[in-house]
Amino acid sequence: MSKLEEIKKVLSSNPDIVWNEQSARLPYHRRNGSYYSVGFRLAPKEPILESQALQNFAKRLIKELLPIGPTNISQCYEFPGVKRKVIKIGTAYYVETIEEPAKERGMERWITVSIYPCQVMAENMGFRSVIEVKRYECPEPCAQVKKCAFKAPKKRGLDIG
């Protein structure tokens, strides 16, 4: 079974998450040829509202993905930014060779699994690796928006009319 199939199996067996997959064939930057890029953005079914809970969630999911053999892992952690706290999202990276019968050399598939605190953020942030605390302007606020540590407070402007 390929790493891609194994990842899908792990994600499908977890009832607490939702995920989507994107794939593309991209050219190598420093050599001839191309590779397949596959990205998974996953989030809990119920939004995670604070940093420590996101870190625990990401740690648990990465532990489930470890047996597949990632080439690199970015742990989820919080660190001080220049003006505000920042959360590095948890991400697992994989590389596998795909054998193609028409070619002498196999193609590579680069797989990224990124873990977000909610479905809306996963869908709208793409594959970014950091979230500024209290700076995410949620396009579809949920019922728990007032408790969310990631969402930016509403901007108050002068009403000049």
Over range 62-85, report the average pLDDT: 91
**Rounded distance, CA 64 to CA 10, Å?**
7
Spatial CB neighbours of 68, under 8 Å, sequence gap ≥ 6: 3, 6, 7, 10, 94
Over range 87-96, report the average pLDDT: 94
Give the range of the structural domain holding residue 55, as residue numbers without chain letter. Answer: 3-147
Amino acid 150: pLDDT: 86
> In which region does residue 133 sit, left (phi positive, over 0), alpha (psi from -120 to 50) or beta (all else)?
beta
The chain-wide mean pLDDT, for the chain, equals: 87
Instruction: Examine residue 72 and state whether it is found in any structural domain, yes or no.
Output: yes
Share of the chain above pLDDT 70, in %: 91
Q: Which residue has the tokens 């040829």?
A: 33
Total count of domains within the chain: 1
Q: Note the pLDDT tens digit of each residue in 7-34.
A: 999 999 999 999 999 999 888 888 888 8
Q: Has residue 101 got a pLDDT over 80?
A: no
Question: Does the pTM of the predicted model rise above 0.75?
Answer: yes
Among the residue ranges 33-37, 89-93, 103-107, 142-146, the one predicted with the least confidence is: 103-107
Instruction: Examine residue 49 and state whether it is found in any structural domain, yes or no.
Output: yes
Instruction: Examine residue 110 and state whether it is found in any structural domain, yes or no.
Output: yes
Instruction: Examine residue 154 and state whether it is found in any structural domain, yes or no.
Output: no
Instruction: Examine residue 61 and state whether it is found in any structural domain, yes or no.
Output: yes
β-pair partners for 96: 109
